[in-house]
Amino acid sequence: MKTNIKTRVFWYGVFILFGIMMIYPILFAVSNSFKTLQDAINSILDLIPSAPTIENYLFLFTRLDIWQITGNTFFVATVVTIFKLATSLLAAYALVFFDFRFKNLVYFILISTIFIPFTVTMIPNFLTISRMDLIDNPLGVILPQLADALGIFLMRQSMRMIPKPLVEYARMENLGHLRILKDIVMPLIKPAIISTGIIFFINSWNEFVWPMLILRAQENFTLPLALQMFISAEGGSDFTYAMALSVISMIVPLLLFFIFQKHIISTFVSSGIKG
C-alpha cells in the first residue's frame, strides 16, 4: 500500500514538473509583455512586473497594422482549414465506403507522407509557387496546404466506427454519396471534424517557415512573420514588443484549445481504437 502511494506521489510530481515546464514560457511572455525594456533586462525571469505597463501593446496597435496582420493570419488559417477538412472528408469517405483495387496501398502511400520532412517538399513547392507568380501572395501560402494526411487518418478512423450497412441502406434509397456524406456521415463524426479543424487552424495560425519564404511585403505578413521583425540574432532591442506580440498571437489558439479540448483529446483517443 505504501509502495503504491509512493509511486503515485512520484508520478504526480513528474506530471507537475512537466506542467510547470510547459506553462512557464507562456507566463514568461505575458509577464515581460507588461514590462519596460529596462525592467525586463533587470528582472527578465521575474514573473511579476515591478511596474506593469501597457506601453508595449499601445506601440503595436499604433505603430504596426496589427489588425491587418491578424486578419491575414485568420484568412490564411481559415481557408487552409476549410480545404484540408474538405479533402480529408472526401478521401476518408472513399477509403472507408468504396471498394477498389489497391485501396490499402493508396491509404499507406497517403499516410506515409506524414513522415516526409518539410525540407524535402519545400524547394519543389517554392519553385511551383514562383512559376505561378504567387510570391508575396497569400494564395502562395495556401495552395500547397490544401490536403493533409493526418486529417485523412483521423477522419478515416472516425468513419470506420459507422456501420457500413447504414450507408448501404442509404444507397438503396438512391441517395448520392455527397448527400450521404453531408446528411449521415458528417453528423455522426461531428466531434472529430471539429477537433481536426481546430488542429488544422492552430497549425496554420502558428506556421512560420513557409509564409516566411513566400511573403515579402509587411501588409501581407501573418503574426509569426510580424514577430520576427522584433527579434534579431543578438536578441534584439525590441524584446518587450516581441513578447507583447507573442501574447497576442497565442490568444486565439489557446481559446480554441480550451473551448474544444474535450473533442481534440477524444478524437486522438478514439483514433487508436480501431486500426
Does residue 94 have a pLDDT over 70?
yes
133 shares a domain with 250: yes
107 shares a domain with 35: no
Can you give the pLDDT at residue 274?
47
What backbone phi and psi angles, to 5 degrees, belong to 181? -60, -45
249 shares a domain with 136: yes
Nearest CA to 241 out of 63, 19, 97 is that of: 63
What backbone phi and psi angles, to 5 degrees, belong to 176? -70, 165
Helix (H) or strand (E) holding 204: helix 190-206
φ/ψ bin of 235: left (φ > 0), alpha (ψ from -120 to 50), beta (otherwise): left
- Residue 91 C-alpha cell reads as 478521401
The Cα–Cα gap between 224 and 43 comes to: 26
215 shares a domain with 156: yes
Q: Check: CB of residue 236 under 8 Å from CB of residue 34.
A: no
Say what the pTM is.
Answer: 0.86
User: Mean pLDDT for the chain?
Assistant: 87
Instruction: Read off the pLDDT of residues 12-62 as tens digits, 9 standing for 90 and up.
Output: 888 899 988 888 989 999 999 999 888 888 887 788 888 889 999 998 888
Assess if residue 244 is contained within a domain.
yes
Does residue 75 have a pLDDT over 90?
yes
Assess if residue 5 is contained within a domain.
no
Neighbouring residues of 116: CB distance < 8 A, sequence distance ≥ 6: none
- Residue 136 C-alpha cell reads as 508575396
Q: Check: CB of residue 34 under 8 Å from CB of residue 48.
A: no
The Cα–Cα gap between 214 and 129 comes to: 8
Assess if residue 120 is contained within a domain.
yes
43 shares a domain with 81: no
Assess if residue 49 is contained within a domain.
yes
Nearest CA to 153 out of 105, 196, 204 is that of: 196
Higher-scoring residue by pLDDT: 73, 236? 73
Domain end position, chosen among 53, 78, 96: 53
Assess if residue 13 is contained within a domain.
no
- Residue 141 C-alpha cell reads as 501560402
Assess if residue 115 is contained within a domain.
yes
Q: Check: CB of residue 204 under 8 Å from CB of residue 216.
A: no
Q: Check: CB of residue 256 under 8 Å from CB of residue 198.
A: yes
153 shares a domain with 37: no
Residue 213 CA from chain centroid, whole number: 19
CATH of the domain at 167: 1.10.3720.10
Does residue 275 have a pLDDT over 50?
no
252 shares a domain with 185: yes
97 shares a domain with 48: no
Assess if residue 60 is contained within a domain.
no
224 shares a domain with 263: yes
119 shares a domain with 76: yes
Q: Check: CB of residue 152 under 8 Å from CB of residue 111.
A: yes
172 shares a domain with 83: yes
Helix axes 239-270, 2-33, angle to 10 degrees: 140
Domain total of the chain: 2
- The residue-averaged pLDDT of 221-241 equals 77
The Cα–Cα gap between 75 and 82 comes to: 11
- Domain of residue 141 covers 65-270
77 shares a domain with 207: yes
Does residue 149 have a pLDDT over 90?
yes
Assess if residue 182 is contained within a domain.
yes
